[in-house]
Structure 1
Amino acid sequence: MDRKQLEAKLLELKSDYIRIQGDLDKMEAVGGQVSPIEQQLERLEGEISAINDQLASK
């Protein structure tokens, strides 16, 4: 991927992260199961970190 594609992917992942974090807050408020949502956030954190590393090396 070129730099612009990486930056676009990073913005998409950050947007997803914010949305899912909101979902987590709602689930916690109603006492729902949060572990699957936490796993999604952890996966996104890993993807965001990987893209940041790629951007730093370009």
Structure 2
Amino acid sequence: MKVFIDEEKCVACGQCVAAAPEVFDQRDEDGIVILLEANPPPEQVADVRDAAAVCPALVITIEE
């Protein structure tokens, strides 16, 4: 799995961080998503899929 984010579309709601805190974080100054792990280990795959599903701006793309 490879994870991509589109920072320009991010609305800084933090749902991705809540779903997968090992993979996503937010910038302190504006809350925009930060990708911590582009290639998450297998035990985090389900959380990353959940994060992509709950993102209101659909900024998370997953490539299998």
Tell me which interval the TM-score lies in, with the shorter structure as reference length.
Answer: 0.3 to 0.5
* Normalised TM-score (structure 1): 0.33
Q: Which has the larger radius of gyration?
A: 1
More helix by proportion, 1 or 2? 1
